[in-house]
Amino acid sequence: MAINRAQLVKELEPGLNALFGLEYDRYENEHAEIFDTENSDRAFEEEVMLAGFAQAPVKGEGASVSYDTAQETFTSRYTHETIALAFSLTEEAIEDNLYDSLSSRYTRALARSMANTKQVKAANVLNNGFSSSFPGGDGVELFATNHPTLTAGDQSNEPSTAADLNETSLENALIDISQFKDERGIKINVQARKLIVPPQLQFVAERILMSPGRVNTSDNDINAMKNMGMFPEGYVVNHYLTDTDAFFIKTDAPNGMKHFVRSPMSTGMEGDFETGNVRYKARERYSFGWSDWRGMYGSPGA
């Protein structure tokens, strides 16, 4: 249905002082703080976890060398979604509007709607990360205590007891990350890069990471996490996180959080000969997800 003069009555009359409601700034590209972006040229992308070799055993004198096998363990699939939105303006509404270019005004609104959808879909990977209804390639949710491995048993990227964001919980998270193993039980060097929090925790994050001394203590102790540079990229606030006490840590594990761009944002405009209406459309295709759970650590809060 086209936007017509009946929906823009005040804009057809003289004496209007201001039009407002579409000028707000927006939170830009917060997904880029969480996901690594790659391009795609197919309907979906698959990434396969490989298991290497176990720890090398001792070879006895004169004995044969031991052989091991490598194999694939699980596959993560990214199925691209098409996101699109359009609007139409009648010829009369365009002609009779007295105050502004309708097309430029509402194309800005169209861009804001498209951008908001992308940020919501990106944040939902974390928002749904504690729910078994959203399993990854290994069959369990992103944040779990029972990520299966080939021979290393179940592994965890969340605390065994849910904890709120504080100095102790953050230190324990860093210790847990330092104990990550690969599919065959070999310890791997994975480091925290940044802390990701909702707006409700930004002040807590600032005090914990930026204070020169320990927070909420009268002891004259240094802030160990700050002095050791445990979060080289600091913390970021994501305004689309829905859990007010959950926090997340992005690590430097490769092939963790992924954003595939199948078709970048494109816009189109066309006029209809019979009605005179002008139609505007925006469209893009992308997907968000994760391949290796070691790329992220999270706590749902106590």
pLDDT (tens digit per residue) in 26-58: 888 999 999 999 999 999 999 999 999 999 999
Residue 232 in any domain: the answer is no
Mean predicted confidence (pLDDT) in 211-236: 89
- Residue 114: inside a domain: yes
Q: What is the mean pLDDT of the chain?
A: 89
Domain membership flag for residue 52: no
Note down the domain range covering 95: 77-193+241-299
Assess if residue 130 is contained within a domain.
Answer: yes
What's the CA gap between 188 and 19, in Å, rounded?
Answer: 57
User: What CATH number does the domain containing 256 carry?
Assistant: 3.30.2400
pLDDT in tens, 97-137: 644 566 677 788 888 899 999 999 999 999 999 999 999 99
For position 108, what pLDDT does the model report?
Answer: 83
Specify the pTM.
Answer: 0.87
The pLDDT value given to residue 273: 82
What's the structural domain count of the chain? 1
Residue 222 lies in a domain: no
